[in-house]
Structure 1
Amino acid sequence: MADDKNIGTKIRSIRESKQMSVEELAERSQLSIEQISNIENDTNVPSLAPLIKIARALGVRLGTFLDDNENLGPAVSRKDEAIETIHTSNAEKKTASLNNFFALASQKSGRSMEPFFIEINAVDDGTLEMSAHEGEEFIYVLEGSLKVIYGKDTYILSAGDSIYYDSIVSHLVCAADERGAKIVATVYAPA
């Protein structure tokens, strides 16, 4: 199972196998050279948006960074076997993990969607950044209270509530209060 400490290594390996320079990947993904280098060297904890942009620029699906499996059949995730696969941050200073992602289908190859169980720890304190990327997202709140800023609108969701939106619109997902939230989210990012 992948973890956030080898996502950068996987990205570098894929980039190098495609004989692509850091500069070229930065240009294709519309990210800075410094941001690509920091991700590849595991010196910053990225949000999902740059990972999706990098996957698209490399011509791979987001799940390529999370798994190494070739299972074409169904993927079953047992609650007692959940393994934390990635940490993300959407803060200005991306050195601290604010959200913990547990991939729910990492053993399924060729998937078009990325389902996650996510522990949301970040509260909007003014340092969080909006993100935008191609695709769609569906979120179902299991526990706690979630704040979703979508464009100019803000939604507060409680346990049992859900939201489905186009990811191309600037958005921010964070805890509505210091207690945090637990959600199930599915991200679709076209390859």
Structure 2
Amino acid sequence: MSNDQAYKEIAPRLRGIRDAVDMTVAELAEKVGVEAALAEKYESGEIEIPVSYLMDVAHVCGVGLTVLISGNEAHLKNYALVRKGKGFSVDRRKDYDYKNLASTFVGRRMEPFMINVPAKDPADMNFTTHRGQEFIYVLEGRLELRLDDNVLELEAGDSLYFDSNTPHALRGLDGEPARMLDVIL
């Protein structure tokens, strides 16, 4: 599925879940901290929908992130095993290759992702912010992580814990991608 198709498939779920909890676009936008016009664009499928926005909507509406992304309910309550190289692929962002490592677990308190971060020019880095906290552990390669005005270089074995409200962006270094575990709380 292309990224454009993913937006178009997720958008009606956003509208449906918002309608199901009896909220207007403006009310939801205020609760998740975005402009109503931006929330409307997400619901129309016009633009890329950040995973941070989906997490915020899921939290506010009391549903799992899996429901918004895939349309399916998580169903495992005891454990969720994800084999090497597997995981629920989150094809909604051009910048990174995300795999959710707990999409089938009901009642998650965190969202663990395996993320491949491509090499790119600094000018092509896209900053994001979202509520909560984040933990990154670099598995392979070297990673540049920008936190507001701070530029950090991490390599395999390095980790970072930070406030996700801080604008942050990533890129692989040395012309190579980096692979990391990212846990969002």
TM band (smaller chain): 0.7 to 0.9
- Of the three residues 159, 176, 180, the one matched with 2:177 is 180
Q: Which moved more, 1:38-47 or 1:104-113?
A: 38-47
2:24 paired residue among 21, 24, 47: 21
What's the CA shift string for 1:59-91, capped at 9, x where partnerless?
445454245122111110012543412432xxx
Distance 1:83 1:59 in 2: 20
Q: Which residue of 2 aligns with 1:84?
A: 89
* Percent identity over paired residues: 30
Match of 2:163 among 159, 166, 187: 166
Q: 1 CA distance for matches of 2:26 and 2:144?
A: 36
CA distance in 2, matches of 1:81, 1:126: 31
1:149 aligns with 146
Structure 1: give runs of 5+ residues left out of the alignment.
89-96
CA apart distance, 1:8 = 2.2
AA of the residue aligned to 1:75: A
TM-score by length of 2: 0.81
Runs (5+) with no aligned partner, structure 2: none
1:113 equivalent among 87, 110, 115: 110
**1:15 partner SS:** helix
Seen in structure 2, the aligned counterparts of structure 1 residues 26 and 127 have a Cα distance that, compared at 3 Å, is: farther
Post-superposition Cα deviations, 1:127-167, rounded to whole Å, max 9, x if no partner, equal: 53433322111111122221111233211111222111121
| RMSD between aligned residues | 2.4
Aligned length: 178
Give runs of aligned pairs for residues 3-82 of structure 1, distance below 5 A. 4-5=6-7, 6-60=9-63, 62-66=65-69, 67-82=72-87
Greater alpha carbon shift after TM alignment, 140-149 vs 28-37 = 28-37
- The amino acid that maps onto 2:89 is E
